[in-house]
Amino acid sequence: MRRRVTALAVLGIGAYAVFMVALLPARFVVARIALPPGLALREVDGTVWSGSAAASWSSGGSTLVLDTVQWRWRPLALMSARVAYDVEAHGKGIDARARVARGITSSSVEGLELHADAASVATTIPLASAWQPAGRVDLTAPSLTWNGRELAGRAQAQWSDAALAISSVRPLGTYVLRLDGAGGPAHLALTTPQGALRLSGDGTLEGLQRIAFTGEARAEGPQASALMPVLDLFGPRRPDGSRALRFP
């Protein structure tokens, strides 16, 4: 009987502590944590449980502004030893939502959907921003889990009606990058469903940071000659007229 009372007391104290932390003002918490370099939050409102803020991400002289970032804690995730939040973000030319979670040994994202103008996405990539891309970018990931070394799950990024300021050919094409992971390095595959500028290749992603990729870029159809300035961005011409894609 005494053991049962002790267990219930410990459980009650733990539950009380969790709820007290969740009810902390979000502004209080944000002021005391180290944010990633380049990330700034303002107009923070609500609690750790449920709140909102405006955010900006600066990189290489460019800044991506999100007018609203909203989060809502999912307490039932604690039953599987995870801390999880439903997150939505909205800004000029960009909308995103996902459930993000952190467990004891791994992190995960579920139901990720991002829809944005290519110009908005490019503000986070200095080199891409200089090319002034246009078109629409859609990113989806039903479920991704990683532990710093291994990645499991699927994701797909599609750039539709792609265009660049240096080219009069519009659109250049539609490009799809797929990611498949089953533990260990994830496989990357780049394809061109349609378009005069054809990009293709394969590679691997390890630990969300190390990328190895090889492929090719080539022009096809009556607009091929007009695409030479774009192809020259990828490097020297090979004997078959294509350009090599290689990273790093």
The pLDDT of 114-138, averaged and rounded, is: 87
Single residue among 104, 124, 149 that ends a domain in this structure: 104
Q: Taking 90 as the threshold, does the pLDDT of residue 10 lie above it?
A: no
Same domain? 98 vs 118: no
Output the average pLDDT for the chain: 86
Q: Confidence class of residue 18 from pLDDT cuts 50, 70 and 90?
A: low
Confidence at residue 107, expressed as pLDDT on a 0 to 100 scale: 92
Residue-number span of the structural domain to which 69 is assigned: 1-104
Same domain? 153 vs 234: yes
Same domain? 134 vs 154: yes
The better pLDDT of the pair 130, 93 is held by 93
Q: Confidence class of residue 3 from pLDDT cuts 50, 70 and 90?
A: low
Q: Taking 50 as the threshold, does the pLDDT of residue 17 lie above it?
A: no
Q: Taking 50 as the threshold, does the pLDDT of residue 7 lie above it?
A: no
Confidence at residue 12, expressed as pLDDT on a 0 to 100 scale: 46
Confidence at residue 22, expressed as pLDDT on a 0 to 100 scale: 57
The pLDDT of 193-206, averaged and rounded, is: 95
Q: Taking 60 as the threshold, does the pLDDT of residue 127 lie above it?
A: yes
Q: Taking 90 as the threshold, does the pLDDT of residue 14 lie above it?
A: no
Question: What total of structural domains would you count in the chain?
Answer: 2
Same domain? 83 vs 206: no
Give the tens place of pLDDT for each residue, 51-75.
999 999 887 677 889 999 999 999 8
**DSSP character string of the chain:** -HHHHHHHHHHHHHHHHHHHHHTSBHHHHHTTS-PPTTEEEEEEEEBSSEEEEEEEEEETTEEEEEEEEEEEE-GGGGGGT-EEEEEEEEETTEEEEEEEEE-SS-EEEEEEEEEEEHHHHHTT-HHHHHT--EEEEEEEEEEEEE-SS-EEEEEEEEEEEEE-TT-S-S--EEEEEEEEEESSSEEEEEEEEEESEEEEEEEEEETTTEEEEEEEEEE-STTTGGGHHHHGGG-SPPTTS-EEEEE-
Confidence at residue 16, expressed as pLDDT on a 0 to 100 scale: 43
The better pLDDT of the pair 47, 130 is held by 47
Same domain? 92 vs 139: no
Single residue among 104, 134, 163 that ends a domain in this structure: 104
Q: Which pTM does this prediction carry? A: 0.85
Same domain? 24 vs 69: yes
Q: Taking 70 as the threshold, does the pLDDT of residue 181 lie above it?
A: yes
